[in-house]
Amino acid sequence: MTANRRPRRSSGRITLNDVAGAAGVSPITVSRALRGERTVDPALAERVREAADRLGYVPDPAARALASQRSTQVLVLVPLLSNALFVDLLEAVHRTLFPEGFQPLIGVTHYDSAEEELLLRTYLPHRPAGLLVTGFDRSEAARQLIVHSGVPCVHLMETSAAPGVACVGFSQQDAGATITRHLLERGRKRIAFCAAQLDPRVLQRAEGYRRT
């Protein structure tokens, strides 16, 4: 007799039900075992993992998010990938999130508020677990999308004293003032401020330079 199992998806992809049939357990047991829940007997969990490995089962993150109503993706919006600063930032984000079971979903805005707004409209309906955005300079429509999405949001590269705002960074104006003051204290009198790209954070540093 052949095992009675549900047909595979039309894509031919191995499903949770295939693993359940091979391990002789229910699909819910397979789900719990592969998530590492302690309520599953260790020997049974090992049997499930062996069956999954043997069949080449790869979990479907979309189906898992739908079943658990919890996404494992964190949307990260950065201005450019040609700037090593943002590449380092993405590396740090991945290094922090991945061990905790989250995967960064990267969007590039190209310093374009309309492009950032489009990315938010595209990805926020998928209910990511979190959102990381660069700075505070964005369109009012983008701000409202973030607020009304209910997705936890952290602003990077800048700080704000506004209540309820989560941010990681430093004062760009203070940075511009500090480097200028450093040169003034060493007797320099003709100090130039040079910038390759006039993005919002560069302009804030320029303001600190001018003030000092």
| Tens digits of pLDDT across the chain (212 residues) | 444 444 455 556 788 889 999 999 998 888 888 877 788 888 888 999 899 888 888 776 555 555 555 688 999 999 999 989 899 999 999 999 988 889 999 999 999 999 999 999 999 988 899 999 999 999 999 999 999 999 999 999 998 888 989 999 889 999 999 999 999 999 999 999 998 888 889 999 999 999 99
127 and 200 fall within a common domain: no
CATH, residue 55: 1.10.260.40
For residues 126 and 80, state if they share a domain: yes
**Whether residue 75 sits in one domain with residue 163:** yes
Range of the domain at 51: 16-59
The CA distance from 128 to 49, in Å, is 27
If asked whether residues 131 and 108 sit together in one domain, one would say yes
| Same domain as 159, residue 179 | no
> Residues 99, 102, 103, 105: is their CA dihedral positive or negative?
negative
Q: Model's pTM, two decimal places? A: 0.66
Nearest to 77 by CA among 110, 42, 47, 103: 110
Is residue 164 domain-shared with residue 110, that is, in the same domain? yes
Same domain, 102 and 115: yes
3, part of any domain: no
